[in-house]
Structure 1
Amino acid sequence: MAYTHLAAVYDALMADAPYSEWLDWAEAVWSRTGRPKSVIDLGCGTGNLAIPLAKRGYQVTGVDLSAEMLSIAYEKMKREQALVTWVEQDMRELALPESDAVISFCDSLCYLLEEGDVERTFERVFAQLRPGGTFLFDVHSPYKIVEVFGDNTFTLTGNEINYIWQCCCEPERLEVEHQLTFFIQERGDLFRRMEEVHVQRTYQPIQLAGWLRAAGFEDIVITGDFTWLPPTPESERLFFSARRPLS
């Protein structure tokens, strides 16, 4: 699912997101598996991981379905004086030159709403990796979908950006619909209203690990919430690392 209206306010809404923790987690994995030269950032959004990776010396390709998000990423890249290759592409049809590593953080894979979509994406990622290459990603846990999002409503009242965020959960599918209504201040007391709907789904860890193995991956490790420990029943974010065999 592509971001449209939300792209314009995405960075303001995500200002407190733990991007540095994602970067540190990835580099900690690579310290064990070997530092990659080239990295594909799958579901790169506005470049909040791709650009810092490029500034750390990696050859980065940012892939996203949203042209609006990529346009913002491109402008940020120029301001940051970094170099990233931006590609508008569906992750299920990923087709790029081979890379040493693929990452997909900030629950981007949760926008794959059918099991076949996940299987196809894993197959395409495997095909993109050089032998020995790593695939790192995270997803919302089943606990977060059902218990944290659930059928809850969240609100934000600020000076320039306000929102009402309503969640509608289907527990059997581990799926949640996010109904977002934004009120963006334009001038004085004038606010512009924008609406957007996003649907996310997660899967049981054992399913995801099985699809990774079926795609050809090995050395599959699952941890919880930016740690090196196995997930607990109340972990909100599941982290996966997997490797394409050397031969």
Structure 2
Amino acid sequence: MHKEFANIYDVFMESVNYEDWYKYLRKYIKKAGTVLDLGCGTGEFLVRFSKDGFSSIGVDISEVMLEIAGDKTKESKDVELYQGDIRNFRAEKPVDYVVCNFDTVNYFDKFGDLEDFLLCSYENLKENGILIFDVVTEEIFEEMFENGVFLDEKENYLTIWRYNKEGENYIINIKLFIREKENLFRNYEEVHVKTIFDLEEIANKALETGFDIVDIKNDEEFGENRFFFILKK
């Protein structure tokens, strides 16, 4: 994430229902323990896990994201933050749960990166530990984009997305206009690249890594073309 984008990430994500997403995670994360949140962003789930009595470790590649997460979690108990690469981060001790949310793995450039992520997660987990992550499929672009454009307008911002496809990658150009005063907007521009991975190939690699597959499922609440992998070591 670019530095400027990290600063307005929470505005960009304000339409996300964190509470329902968190409840979904808790269907599989029932017993209190230690949670490793890979790609933790600004720490929304770290705060929630801490309130529910979990120890939490947040990892993100963005220093600015972690600064914001630090502000949000400063009153929370048992929260640690680290800047690092989610493909190779190693916790000091094995954890009970690993989570990676909001199709973060679709930002990997190639399948080898996803393989590294799976191995990293496996090695960070205790025996019988749970990994939960989600991926989007190619159809999400038809779901979200009408005539190649996604438009989202709220009281305090307007965002316009356009995309084009290059091989297995989708290049997404994002323009975001943040209202600062009544008639004054600040403009941010981002280019994101998403890679679409085959679900069966992910499942096979998870098994090869050593995981058992608890479930692979989608939930219409989070989009028909978003699939959650729930894996057990």
TM-score (norm 2): 0.89
CA distance in 2, matches of 1:189, 1:42: 38
Q: Which of 225, 231, 239 is equivalent to 2:228?
A: 239
Q: Report the CA distance shift for 1:188/1:140 in structure 2 as closer, same or farther (over 3 A).
A: same
**Unaligned stretches of 5+ residues in structure 2:** none
CA distance in 1, matches of 2:8, 2:123: 34
Q: Which of 103, 112, 117 is equivalent to 1:107?
A: 103
Q: How far did 1:105 drift?
A: 1.3
- Residues 205-224 of structure 1 correspond to what in structure 2 (within 5 A)? 205-224=199-218
- Residues 152-167 of structure 1 correspond to what in structure 2 (within 5 A)? 152-167=148-163
Which AA in structure 2 matches 1:136?
I
1:9 matched to 2:23: no
Percent sequence identity over aligned pairs = 29
Q: How far did 1:215 drift?
A: 1.3
1:25 matched to 2:24: yes
Q: Which residue of the partner structure matches residue 180 of structure 2?
A: 186
- Residues 2-151 of structure 1 correspond to what in structure 2 (within 5 A)? 2-31=1-30, 35-78=31-74, 81-83=75-77, 84-97=79-92, 98-145=94-141, 148-149=144-145
Which AA in structure 2 matches 1:103?
V
Q: How far did 1:53 drift?
A: 0.8
**Secondary structure in 1 matching 2:123:** helix
**Unaligned stretches of 5+ residues in structure 1:** 228-233
Q: How far did 1:95 drift?
A: 1.4
CA distance in 1, matches of 2:164, 2:151: 15
In 1, are the aligned partners of 2:29 and 2:97 still within 8 Å (CA)?
no
Root mean square deviation of aligned Cα: 2.1
Which AA in structure 1 matches 2:232?
R
Q: Report the CA distance shift for 1:63/1:162 in structure 2 as closer, same or farther (over 3 A).
A: same
Which AA in structure 2 matches 1:55?
K
Q: Deviations over 1:115-169 (max 9, x none)?
A: 1000011111111011111101111123214554486212334443222221223
Which AA in structure 2 matches 1:130?
K
In 2, are the aligned partners of 1:226 and 1:239 still within 8 Å (CA)?
no
Q: Report the CA distance shift for 1:128/1:90 in structure 2 as closer, same or farther (over 3 A).
A: same
CA distance in 2, matches of 1:150, 1:120: 34
CA distance in 2, matches of 1:133, 1:9: 34
Q: Deviations over 1:170-206 (max 9, x none)?
A: 4x51x32221122233345333222111111221210
CA distance in 2, matches of 1:27, 1:220: 14
1:199 matched to 2:182: no
Q: Report the CA distance shift for 1:203/1:156 in structure 2 as closer, same or farther (over 3 A).
A: same
- 4+ residue stretches of structure 1 with deviation over 6 A? none
CA distance in 1, matches of 2:179, 2:142: 33
Q: Which residue of the partner structure matches residue 230 of structure 1?
A: none
In 1, are the aligned partners of 2:36 and 2:95 still within 8 Å (CA)?
yes
Q: Report the CA distance shift for 1:164/1:60 in structure 2 as closer, same or farther (over 3 A).
A: same
CA distance in 2, matches of 1:48, 1:118: 24
